[in-house]
């Protein structure tokens, strides 16, 4: 039977009947079972699951297993270098791209993992977890800073192998044939990384798809969290560009959801947070005409006094408001504790000459005060957009590191600037959306003063592409129809302040974190974030890049959208099968996700 015909048959079932077993399980279950509990599935039951999923049932191993079994082996000695390769980590069922968070979580593998190769494997895993009252975890790319794809004693649904990509010249969502005009799109499996999608859509096909900045981030997780990339100011979020998804819900039903079918669930998937509503198996995203060029601006300005630095901050904020707060520009400036302003900006649709013309007034202002400022650059250049994610050429330019393991795809690379965060053990992290009202001339001195005060405690970044003020009306309209906190449409940037240390995977020799130093760093991050938050008390925070300990997470992540999200959660997952840290409905569960509260 054709898959879509099968889905139509399932769609004919009354929703209440489909969800009845899930609701009954919710009433009967108070605590999920662990391997030490008598109710844990027997070896025979696990064997049955293994047969249902075509043998793809695994027992994940710790990333440092080689050192635990043979600490003097070559494999153990090579492991620290190996764990700097995000592709390697992503290829391990027990791998997470962060190694933990101070006083929050540490990387721990699941008891079993279903390495899903298709929707049927996901259905089998979801049904097994529900029927046996197991803690269920979902992982694609494994990039969650908050550890949401990581839980001991759990069953992991691992979608890495579901990585098919299909391009469409004209795509119409199911049920909207003859109603909606076909649009260019790309359908991707839930296990795809953005590098593979960029390679297919941009490098090979000459189109643009709105995705994430880190090339090894999973597509499904990014879309469900909202999804910002370097050029979100021009094209909106990844979630806003979702036009159809396939998802397995808590009742084990495979659904195709879009603006016509299961509309509320479809809306919730667009920014409602990964791992809370089901297991996404496929996504279809609209594609756009590719700009001719992408431009880059790289450089630093060093202020020679505190007062000069305050003036620099005020001047740059004015320059940003006048010249950069538009669909062309994104990415970051870093504000350092040593009175240094560092640029790492990207633009789309502008060539080198046009980009230099935009930045000339600011460059001239800096150059006019040599007693107050010294500058390196900025270096301004443009590249053909089609080559931007071409790994071999970017490696040749020094911008990308290749996955050089034997047999690895030659098209797999990651940005050199992302190398330092692979395996990070986070000491602290926070983000704050800064409203565009702070850029008004009457507010700029106050804004500059708060930025300066925040930099006294810790270096931080302003991510201009993660605030959509200045985006075109059509992009804002698409974002408005997502579950992401509406504040993002009126924010000029997302301020991020964070600190972390080297990989600290359990069992890896010589990697125990310096807890005294880590707590000291965490205090500095908190002080810097407090100074920034003083600009906009109660400001929202981006769910994927946020404070693990944020007590106001419902309002911070989703604002006025949370009540609707909670309604969707109750309808499609009344038993709370899908529970993640600070996810929709997680307040009904203990922090480890094993015990239902009340």
Q: Which residues contact 32 (CB under 8 A, 6 or more apart)?
A: 133, 134, 135, 593, 594, 595
**Cis bond upstream, residue 378 (ω within 30):** yes
* Vertex 437 angle, CA 333 and 222, to 5°: 55
| pLDDT confidence of residue 29 | 54
| pLDDT confidence of residue 415 | 96
- Residue 85 pLDDT exceeds 50: yes
Contact 186, 200 (CB under 8 A): yes
* Vertex 242 angle, CA 240 and 247, to 5°: 130
The residue among 289, 147, 218 whose CA lies nearest residue 580 is 147
Report residue 64 as tokens. 């440092």
575 vs 471: CA distance, rounded Å: 39
Render pLDDT for 363-393 as a digit per residue (tens, 0 to 9): 999 999 999 999 999 999 999 999 999 999 9
| pLDDT confidence of residue 518 | 98
Please tell me the least confidently modeled range out of 273-277, 446-450, 505-509. Answer: 505-509
Residues 523-537: what's their mean pLDDT? 97
The residue among 545, 550, 548, 543 whose CA lies nearest residue 565 is 543
Contact 478, 38 (CB under 8 A): no
Contact 320, 464 (CB under 8 A): yes
pTM of the model: 0.93
Report residue 43 as tokens. 């070896």
Query: What does pLDDT average to over the chain?
Result: 94
Q: Are strands 112-115 and 57-58 parallel, antiparallel or unpaired?
A: antiparallel
Q: Are strands 413-415 and 425-435 parallel, antiparallel or unpaired?
A: unpaired
Spacing of C-alpha 6 from chain mean position:
32
Contact 176, 260 (CB under 8 A): yes
Contact 63, 75 (CB under 8 A): no
| pLDDT confidence of residue 314 | 98
* Pure H helices in 38-182: 43-52, 65-69, 74-82, 86-90, 119-131
How many other C-beta atoms are found inside a 10 Å radius of the C-beta of residue 485?
Answer: 24
The residue among 377, 368, 359, 357 whose CA lies nearest residue 319 is 359
Render pLDDT for 250-302 as a digit per residue (tens, 0 to 9): 999 999 999 999 999 999 999 999 999 999 999 999 999 999 999 999 999 99
Contact 116, 159 (CB under 8 A): yes
214 vs 308: CA distance, rounded Å: 34
143 vs 24: CA distance, rounded Å: 34
Of the chain, the percentage scoring pLDDT greater than 90 comes to 93
262 vs 277: CA distance, rounded Å: 13
165 vs 284: CA distance, rounded Å: 10
What backbone torsions phi and psi does residue 467 show, to the nearest 5 degrees? Answer: -130, 130
Please, which pLDDT band fits residue 200 given cuts at 50, 70 and 90?
Answer: very high
Please, which pLDDT band fits residue 596 given cuts at 50, 70 and 90?
Answer: very high
- Residue 245 pLDDT exceeds 90: yes
- Residue 10 pLDDT exceeds 60: no
498 vs 313: CA distance, rounded Å: 20
Q: Is the dihedral of CA 103, 109, 110, 111 positive or negative?
A: negative
Domains of the chain: 3-160 (3.30.43.10), 165-289 (3.30.465.10), 293-466+495-557 (3.40.462)
Bridge partners of residue 186, in order along the sequence: 167, 285
- Residue 315 pLDDT exceeds 60: yes
The residue among 465, 470, 469, 533 whose CA lies nearest residue 497 is 533
435: alpha, beta or left? (left if phi > 0; alpha if psi -120 to 50): beta
């Amino acid at each position: 039977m054709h898959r879509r015909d099968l889905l139509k048959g399932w769609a004919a079932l009354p929703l209440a009947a489909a969800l009845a077993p899930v609701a009954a399980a919710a009433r009967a279950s108070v605590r999920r079972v662990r391997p030490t509990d008598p109710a844990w599935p027997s070896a025979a039951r696990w064997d049955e699951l293994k047969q249902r999923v075509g043998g793809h049932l695994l027992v994940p191993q710790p990333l440092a297993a080689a050192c635990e079994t043979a600490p003097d082996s070559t494999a153990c000695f090579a492991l620290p270098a190996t764990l700097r390769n995000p592709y390697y980590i992503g290829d391990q069922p027990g791998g997470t791209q962060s190694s933990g968070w101070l006083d929050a979580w540490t990387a721990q593998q699941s008891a079993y993992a279903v390495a899903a190769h298709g929707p049927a494997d996901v259905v089998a895993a979801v049904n097994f977890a529900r029927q046996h009252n197991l803690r269920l975890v979902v992982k694609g790319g494994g990039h969650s800073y908050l550890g949401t794809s990581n839980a001991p004693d759990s069953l992991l649904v691992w979608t890495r192998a579901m990585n098919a990509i299909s391009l469409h010249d004209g795509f119409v969502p199911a049920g909207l044939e003859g109603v909606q005009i076909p649009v260019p799109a790309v359908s991707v499996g839930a296990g795809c990384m953005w590098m593979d999608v960029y390679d297919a859509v941009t490098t090979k096909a000459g189109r643009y798809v709105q995705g994430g900045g880190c090339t090894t981030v999973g597509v499904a997780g990014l879309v469900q969290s909202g999804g910002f990339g370097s050029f979100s100011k021009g094209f909106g979020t990844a979630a806003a560009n979702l036009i159809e998804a396939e998802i397995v819900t808590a009742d084990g039903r495979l659904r195709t959801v879009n603006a016509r079918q299961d509309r509320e669930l479809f809306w919730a998937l667009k920014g409602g947070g990964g791992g809370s509503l089901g297991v996404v198996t496929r996504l279809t995203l609209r594609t756009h005409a590719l700009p001719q060029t992408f431009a880059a601006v790289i450089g630093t300005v060093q202020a020679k006094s505190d007062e000069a630095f305050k003036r620099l901050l005020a001047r740059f904020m004015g320059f940003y408001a006048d010249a950069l707060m538009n669909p062309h520009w994104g990415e970051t400036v870093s504000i350092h504790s040593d009175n240094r302003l560092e640029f790492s900006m990207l633009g789309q649709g502008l060539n080198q000459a046009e980009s230099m013309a935009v930045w000339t007034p600011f460059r001239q202002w800096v150059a006019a005060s040599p007693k107050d400022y010294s500058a390196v650059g900025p270096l301004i250049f443009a590249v053909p957009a089609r080559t931007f994610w071409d790994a071999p050429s970017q490696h040749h330019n020094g911008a990308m590191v290749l996955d050089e393991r034997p047999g690895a795809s030659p098209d797999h690379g990651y940005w050199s600037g992302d190398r330092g965060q692979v395996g990070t053990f986070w000491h602290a992290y926070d983000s704050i959306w800064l409203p565009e009202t702070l850029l008004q001339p009457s507010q700029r001195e106050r804004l500059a003063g708060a930025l300066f005060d925040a930099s006294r405690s810790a270096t931080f970044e302003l991510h201009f592409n993660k605030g959509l003020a200045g985006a075109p009306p059509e992009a804002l309209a698409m974002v408005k129809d997502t579950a992401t906190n509406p504040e993002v449409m009126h924010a000029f940037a997302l301020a991020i302040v964070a600190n972390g240390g080297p990989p600290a995977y359990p069992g890896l020799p010589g990697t125990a974190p310096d807890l005294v130093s880590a707590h000291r760093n965490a205090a500095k991050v908190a002080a810097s974030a407090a100074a920034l938050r003083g600009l906009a008390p109660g400001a929202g925070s981006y769910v994927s890049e946020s404070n693990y300990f944020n007590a106001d997470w419902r309002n911070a992540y989703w604002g006025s959208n949370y009540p609707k999200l909670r309604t969707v959660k109750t309808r499609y997952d009344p038993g709370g099968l899908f529970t993640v840290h600070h996810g929709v409905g997680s307040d009904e569960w203990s922090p480890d996700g094993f015990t239902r509260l009340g």
